[in-house]
Chains A and B, each alone.
Chain A
Amino acid sequence: MSEQFEPVIIGFTCNWCSYRAADMAGTARIKYPPNIRLVRLMCSGRLDPTFVLKALSEGADGVLITGCHPGECHYLEQNYKALRRYRLLLKTIAQMGIEPERVKLVWASAAEGVQLARAITTFVEEIRALGPLRWPLRLAEMDIKETAAVEEVVA
């Protein structure tokens, strides 16, 4: 490939911390790569692993989950639930042959615009190094293979 691979990354942010950190990065004109598409949730505890799997299955190369620092959750302790689900999700996707590094959890308070921008930059480079995932493309190729298998046999 002559062109540099530009990863597609979905980022889930918490309304009370990381979303505001991203907002702050914006107002402070701190740069971070445009590869990430941020989705605001009310809390990292709202993050259902379904969201991560849907992102990966529909073309994302990586997913960044962000939430309030431990002990600072707006809803007391939902970020711990996010943490537990994240650890279990990593084990599960590893069994499916997806590098666990493609899904990352970082904590960022509303004041940490710089830190969040840095975390996003790092993550984009990590995913770039891992290469594309291209799940929907692969599934489509599988369907073509199945059709080809039939045609080959019929011919």
Chain B
Amino acid sequence: MSDNGKPKFAMYWAASCGGCEIAVLNINEKILDVDANFEVVFWPVAMDAKYKDVEAMPDKSILLTLFNGGIRNEENEHLAILLRQKSQILVAFGSCATEGCIPGLANFSNTDQIYEAVYEGVSTDNPNHIRPQYNYEVPEGTLHIPAFYPALRTLDQVVDVDYYMPGCPPESHQIAAVIDLVLKVLNGEAELPPKGAVIGAGNSTVCDECGRKRHVKSITKFVRIHEVDEIDPELCLLEQGILCNGPATRSGCGARCPGVGAACIGCYGPAEGVIDYGARLMTAVASVIDSNDPDEIDAILEGIPDPAGSFYRFSMPHSLLRMAKPAWSNGNR
């Protein structure tokens, strides 16, 4: 890698799906600005580089690292620590790195249950019950694969994080805006936001950006979207009894899902100042139930068959409890 004097950029994926990288590529011609202004030194999905190349870099030599994905195994943790060491600005990029996201739902189960699902599932033929061995002796020596951790952690539960960029994935126009900001900072035309800030998102809720009409909410029945004959195209989805996570979710996406008749599922994470996303959503959703009778309330709540999964779909590892009790009771890996 030649040193052309340009600031260095890195992007890494830990426990994630790859959607964040696609979102970065979706900024279209703006990606040329990234290339014109940065030297991309490490980005496994886009270019070939070895971990030892990163290890050989001087500390703090990378200006900007976008880190997506949660910390699920030893390799994820190693790279999180390494990239923290080598980067001046480390951004928890996307829902997995900030809150745990879908991979974080595994925090409802322990390692044995996860292995059971992965290695013994209905679509898996594994008559010998083979499970991963982290160290395996072969004539050439010992093979080692990264150890799987009992629970998924978010990036800031492992290393110090400078900024958070929510979304599953972050909206491309938000990514473009953040890149513009960083370029302005490089040219001395703007200043970086305070450390720990949420960037590339709004400070309000999805409801605030949603164009649907709202009235006083009063719910007598929760329905799932496929149980509705016809969705009113203009009325608030929650008022139609469809569980919508908009009230607790940070703005920034432009309320795209409710805009097309799909309930918000909360991928932009907690709104400003919210400590526990699921708890805030419980507050909002339960308040508008139109009943004062405990039995009737329970009957209405039957319409939410999986409250923990609905309220903590994206935020389980970053919630106050971090994981469900079964995750404690891990057998030997």
Complex Cα–Cα for A77 and B291 (A): 11
A138-B328, A142-B151, A150-B147 are contacts. A57–B321 as well, Cβ < 8 Å? yes
Q: How far is the CB of A48 from chain B (nearest CB, A)?
A: 5
DSSP class of A's interface residues: helix, strand, loop or mixed?
helix
**Nearest-CB distance from B217 to chain A (Å)?**
12
- Residue in A70, A81, A89, A96 whose CB lies within 8 Å of B321: A96
Interface check A130, CB cutoff 8 A: no
Cβ distance A49 to chain B, nearest Cβ, rounded Å: 4
Give min CB distance, B79 to chain A, whole Å. 14
**Residues of A contacting B289 with CB < 8 Å?**
84
B278 and A92 within 8 A (CB) = yes
Q: What's the least CB distance linking A104 to chain B, in Å?
A: 13
CA gap between A96 and B328 in the complex, in Å: 11
B323 touches A81 (CB 8 A): no
Nearest Cβ on chain B to A145's Cβ, whole angstroms: 6
Binds A, one of B60-68, B160-168, B174-182, B306-314: B306-314
Nearest-Cβ distance from residue B205 to partner chain A, whole angstroms: 16
Task: Give A72-89 interface residues, CB cut-off 8 Å to B.
Answer: 77, 80-81, 83-85, 87-89
Q: Is the CB of B324 within 8 A of A97?
A: yes
Q: Which of A80, A89, A141 contacts B282 (CB under 8 A)?
A: A89
B326: CB under 8 A from chain A?
A: yes
Give Cα A33 to B295, complex, Å: 31
B297 engages A53 (CB within 8 Å)? no
The complex places the Cα of A57 from the Cα of B320 at a distance, in Å, of: 6
Residues of A within 8 A of B328 (CB): 138, 141-142
In the complex, how many residues of chain B place their beta carbon closer than 8 angstroms to a beta carbon of chain A? 45
Q: Check B135 for interface membership: any CB of A closer than 8 A.
A: yes
Chain A proximity of B121: nearest CB distance (Å): 21
Asked if residues A85 and B287 are in contact (CB atoms below 8 Å), the reply is yes
Q: A83-B292, A139-B322, A150-B74 are in contact. Are A92 and B144 (CB under 8 A)?
A: no
Closest B residue to A87 by CB, please name it: B297
The interface size bin for chain A is 35 or more
Indicate if the CB atoms of A50 and B275 lie closer than 8 Å. Answer: yes
* B117 on interface, CB distance cutoff 8 Å: no
Least CB separation from A150: chain B residue: B74
Q: Which residues of A contact B321 (CB under 8 A)?
A: 53, 56-57, 96, 98, 135
**A146 contacts the other chain (Cβ, under 8 Å)?**
yes
What chain B residues lie within 8 Å of A83 (beta carbons)?
A: 292, 294, 297
Set A77, A95, A145: member contacting B330, Cβ < 8 A: A145
Nearest 5 A/B pairs, CB to CB:
A97-B325, A95-B308, A50-B279, A49-B279, A84-B286
B interface with A by C-beta (< 8 Å): 74, 77, 108, 134-135, 144, 147, 149-151, 275-276, 278-280, 282-283, 285-287, 289, 291-292, 294, 297-298, 301, 304, 306-309, 311, 319-328, 330, 333
